[in-house]
């Protein structure tokens, strides 16, 4: 990886990390749900996903990034897009905030997806995996995981098209109902990539093997579920099928990671992130199934969103980030695994307290949980950004 590519990949991740802090602060203050989605999904999750995708996808397809400056080219557009979409729901926002944000987001995502597609153009299904001979036993799983990465790109493009169509008043693939777009990007664009990359990355981190049947269940279910959810929302048999399919994918991924944890003899703080994320994800999809077959309330819908965005995706991303950028490499106060564990614990504990507060209809519990998540997000950002500054100086 070139120095330019590596540097701007880190900057893209840094933007996502900062968006996490803003999102948690906004949750405490109280903002429109579309603002929360813009900060959490577009700002945090997808920026970190884009930053690491630039680094990981080419190597997993045994290629070099076709345009080394692509992270530099896409970041201004995706950052402006996330900000525009976040402020648009407020009454004081300029009328052009939403359309400008959607257009900028579309340009940025097009750069990301087009660059990665051009990079793997002669290896579109990922049959060439770059897997070394010492990992020959992982070859079949690596090929399976690679095959679903183009599906992620498709979800990102369709979700971005739907985002732009809703904001600009243009024809779109769906009717503009916001939860449809959220599920396309969060479940199809982010969670499916976490599953696909996770089945390559996590077994190597933990030096263990995933039970063979699980990836063959998780990846197809994770690829089909978001489409069914997007089409079927807010009710009906298609929505129920999508909820069950997505639940199957998340639960299967949780079981796969549990098997890895049981088999490994390594102990690193980053391993706790995906474990806590998987638990939050199981709770999140359980709520989703409840919505599909039962009733829902605005408070439970908001908690479902946070369990999946901050829990399943956020905690998993945080744990993996600590693997790529270990806090202990930094030379600044608090740069330690203990601080990283505190950050993960506060994020996960905050979600648990918030869920309990929602279930018991206790406003103080919800506020306390979100406050804990703010402190966890600040700790996480402090560690990651501190490591980035340290690396830039050395």
Q: Is the pTM of this model over 0.85?
A: yes
- Please state the separation of Cα 109 from the chain's center in Å: 15
Query: Which pLDDT does position 361 carry in this prediction?
Result: 87
DSSP annotation of 251 = H
Cis before 234 (ω within 30): yes
Query: Which pLDDT does position 176 carry in this prediction?
Result: 78
- For tokens 């490994």, the residue is 264
Whole-number Å distance between alpha carbons of 322 and 309: 18
Whole-number Å distance between alpha carbons of 231 and 359: 28
Q: What is the pLDDT along the chain (394 residues), one digit of tens a residue?
A: 677 788 889 999 999 999 999 999 999 999 999 999 999 999 999 999 999 999 999 999 999 999 989 999 999 999 999 999 999 999 899 999 999 999 999 999 999 999 999 999 999 988 888 888 787 788 999 999 999 999 999 999 999 999 999 888 888 888 878 999 999 999 999 999 999 999 999 999 998 999 989 999 999 999 999 999 999 999 999 999 999 999 999 999 999 999 999 999 888 899 999 999 999 999 999 999 999 998 888 888 999 999 999 999 999 999 999 999 999 887 888 889 999 999 999 999 999 999 999 999 899 999 999 999 999 999 999 999 999 988 877 7
**What's the token pair of residue 48?**
């970190």
Whole-number Å distance between alpha carbons of 231 and 234: 9
- For tokens 């600009």, the residue is 168
**What's the token pair of residue 221?**
């279910």
- For tokens 């904001």, the residue is 167
- For tokens 């299967």, the residue is 252
Q: Which residues contact 258 (CB under 8 A, 6 or more apart)?
A: 275, 278
Whole-number Å distance between alpha carbons of 9 and 47: 10
**What's the token pair of residue 314?**
């956020």
> Alpha carbon of 187 to those of 181, 182, 335: distances in Å?
10, 8, 33
Query: Which pLDDT does position 8 carry in this prediction?
Result: 87
Query: Which pLDDT does position 1 carry in this prediction?
Result: 62
Query: Which pLDDT does position 330 carry in this prediction?
Result: 76
The H or E element containing residue 263 is: helix 237-263
């Amino acid at each position: 990886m070139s120095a330019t590519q590596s540097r701007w990949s880190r900057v893209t991740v840094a933007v996502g990390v900062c968006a996490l802090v803003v999102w948690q602060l906004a949750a405490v203050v109280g903002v429109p749900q579309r603002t929360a989605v813009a900060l959490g999904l577009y700002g945090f999750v997808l920026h970190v996903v884009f930053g690491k995708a630039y680094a990981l996808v080419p190597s997993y397809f045994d290629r070099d990034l076709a345009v080394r400056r692509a992270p530099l080219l896409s970041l201004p557009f995706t950052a402006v897009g996330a900000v525009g979409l976040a402020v648009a729901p407020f009454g004081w926002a300029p009328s052009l905030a939403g359309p400008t944000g959607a257009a900028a987001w579309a340009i940025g995502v097009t750069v990301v997806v087009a660059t990665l597609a051009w990079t793997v153009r002669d290896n579109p299904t990922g049959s060439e995996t770059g897997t070394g001979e010492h990992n020959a036993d992982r070859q079949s799983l690596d090929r399976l995981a690679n095959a679903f990465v183009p599906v992620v790109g498709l979800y990102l493009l369709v979700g971005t098209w739907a985002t732009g169509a809703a904001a600009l008043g243009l024809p779109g693939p769906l009717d503009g109902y916001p939860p449809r777009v959220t599920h396309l990007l969060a479940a199809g664009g982010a969670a499916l990539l976490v599953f696909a990359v996770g089945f390559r990355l996590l077994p190597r981190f933990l030096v263990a093997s995933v039970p063979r049947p699980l990836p063959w269940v998780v990846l197809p279910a994770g690829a089909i579920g978001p489409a069914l959810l997007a089409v079927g929302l807010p009710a009906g048999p298609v929505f129920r099928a999508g909820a069950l399919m997505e639940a199957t994918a998340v639960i299967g991924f949780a079981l796969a990671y549990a098997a890895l944890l049981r088999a490994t003899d390594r102990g690193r703080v980053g391993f706790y992130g995906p474990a806590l994320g998987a638990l939050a994800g199981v709770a999140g999809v359980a709520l989703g199934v409840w919505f599909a077959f039962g009733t829902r309330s605005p408070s439970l819908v908001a908690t479902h969103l946070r369990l999946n965005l901050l829990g399943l995706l956020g905690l998993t991303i945080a744990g993996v980030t600590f693997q790529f950028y270990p806090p202990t490499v930094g030379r600044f106060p608090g740069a330690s695994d203990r601080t990283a564990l505190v950050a993960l614990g506060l994020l996960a504990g905050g979600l648990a307290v918030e869920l309990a507060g929602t279930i018991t209809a206790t406003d103080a519990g919800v506020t306390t949980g979100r406050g804990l998540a703010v402190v966890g997000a600040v700790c996480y950002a402090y560690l990651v950004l501190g490591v980035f500054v340290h690396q830039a100086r050395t």
